[in-house]
Structure formats: structure tokens, C-alpha cells
Chains A and B, each alone.
Chain A
Amino acid sequence: MKQDDRNKAKARRNFLKLAGVAGVAGGAAMTGAAAKADGPRAEPATQCKGYRMTEHVRKSYETARF
């Protein structure tokens, strides 16, 4: 990465820190775990190109037809 890009990346991270986005992480780490426990999560695409939206999203879609 060029120095300019590095500085921008650092400025962006500092901004995110100040904006309190990290505050979501503490709680979301637990809720994220709960969310994923809902159903099998799609395989990360390192092995599979065809990512599938997760089971909990799919389940809600079954009931959310227009």
C-alpha cells in the first residue's frame, strides 16, 4: 500500500473508532453468535463460489412473500 493510502486507511479507522462503531462490536459479538446459531451458515467462499444467504434470512423470506 502506498503511504497516502495507508494514511487514509488510518484516518478512516480513527473516524470509525470516534463514531463509536466499536460499541456495536461488544454486543454484536454475542448477538452475532446467537444469530448464527439460528441455522447453518453458508460456507465461506474460500472453497465455494456459490455463497448462499444464511438460513435465518431464508426462513424469514419464506414468510415474507409479496
Chain B
Amino acid sequence: MSAENATGLAPEDRARAQAYELLARLLAAPPDADLLKMLAMLEGGETPIGAALAELAARAAETDAQAARDEYEALFIGVGRGELVPHGSYYITGFLNEKPLARLRADLRGMGVGRTDGNKVPEDHIASLLEVMAGLIEGGFGEARDGAGAQQAAHAFFHAHIALWAGRFFADLEKANAARLYVPVGTLGRHFVTIEEAAFEIAA
């Protein structure tokens, strides 16, 4: 296939993996000064994704690392808990550590993915799920997969663990009181998840 590079990954799929990685990075921890500088250089475009990137660049340019840390803390950590609870089980059932998490753990075990030693946070954190998606698209874990197999695995994982709630989470992030820098992160995530759903439908 001419659209594929040496690693067998089409440029569009590489872009998807990078979008998942970017969102995972920003939701796993606040950006430091270097990452803020790079976010500020993101180029926008005419699509909803492009508009969200332009907004993210603009807000990153006026945010320093301390402000980003404070915002992240208020959004996701807080005293006791942050404004948002970025876990699938919580969004799907209203409680942490419920059946959706058990199902996810079973699937991750099957894929040979586990938590880092000492990591106590449930695996259904949005950042972990997005990171797993990037890995599946790149065919990076489990048995080696060809392009089509990797996309099928990514589709199955998305459908089982992300589709039910990620759109709502990103919409909540856009509207969160503490959100400044993270408003366009929410917008980007919301559009991206919608695009992914539609793209999986086309290929199904």
C-alpha cells in the first residue's frame, strides 16, 4: 500500500496514535515549561480539530508551569478529589472500581499490559486508556500485528472501554470551572473521540 511507510503504519494512523499520546500526556500530568512552549507552537487549521489546536496554542502561550500544575491539581486531584474523576468506572457506573474496571483488567491481562510496580491508581484512568490506544494502533504490544489486525484490536478496545464515556468526560473537561488551559484539551478530545467513532464505523 503506497500510503504506508516502512513500519507499515499509514500516516493517518500515525497521526491518530500521536493524538492519543498527546491527550494521554496532558491528562496524565500537567505540562512543564518545555511542553508548554511546544504546545504554544501548535498550528491551527480550519477543521474543529484545527480550531482546538489553535486555542490550545494560544492558551499555552499565556500559561506558566505553576499555573498549569495548579489547574491540573484543581481539575483532577484536589483535596480529597478534584473537580472531575477521570475514571471509566466512575463515569459508567457512578462508582470507582466497579465491573467496567474488572472487564478492563481482564482485557489488559490478555494483551500483556500491566501497571508499573507501585502504581495504585485504577487502570481505567483516561490517560492510561488513551495510551493503550496509541500502543494498539502502533501495534506495539501483544503479539506483532499487521496493519489491519492492529486497527481491529484498537477498534475493539475503543468500543469496549472508551466509547461509552470518554466523550462525556471531555465535554465535562471543557465546562469545568477550574479549566483554562484544559478547555481546548477537552474540545480536542471531544472532537477526536467523535472522529474515531465515525472512522471505525466506516471501516467496520
Chain A contacts to B: CB under 8 angstroms = 1, 5-6, 8-13, 15-32, 34-35, 38, 44-46, 49-66
Is the pair A11, B18 in contact by a Cβ cutoff of 8 Å?
A: no
Question: Would A31 and B38 be within 8 Å (CB), given that A9-B148, A52-B114 are in contact?
Answer: yes
Inter-chain contact A21/B49, CB cutoff 8 Å: yes
Asked if residues B141 and A51 are in contact (CB atoms below 8 Å), the reply is yes
**CB pair B142 A12 closer than 8 Å:** no
Cβ-neighbour of B128 out of A23, A35, A57 (below 8 A): A57
Query: B12 and A34: CB pair below 8 A?
Result: no
Number of chain B residues close to chain A: CB under 8 A: 70
Which B residues are closer than 8 A to A by beta carbons?
1, 3, 10-16, 18-19, 21-22, 24-25, 28-29, 34-35, 38-39, 41-50, 53, 57, 76-77, 81, 85, 96, 111-121, 125, 127-128, 131, 135, 140-142, 144, 147-148, 151, 188, 192, 195, 198-200, 202-204
List, in ascending order, chain B residues with CB within 8 A of A66's CB. 81, 85, 96, 121
- A23, B202: Cβ atoms closer than 8 Å: no
> How far apart sit A37 and B3, CA to CA, in the bound complex (Å)?
29
Nearest CB in chain B: distance from A59 CB, A: 6
Shortest C-beta distance, B136 to chain A (Å), equals 11
B15 touches A16 (CB 8 A): yes
**Which of A16, A38, A62 is close to B199, meaning CB atoms less than 8 Å apart?**
A16
Contacting pair A21 B19 (CB below 8 A): yes
Contacts of A49 in B (CB 8 A): 112, 141
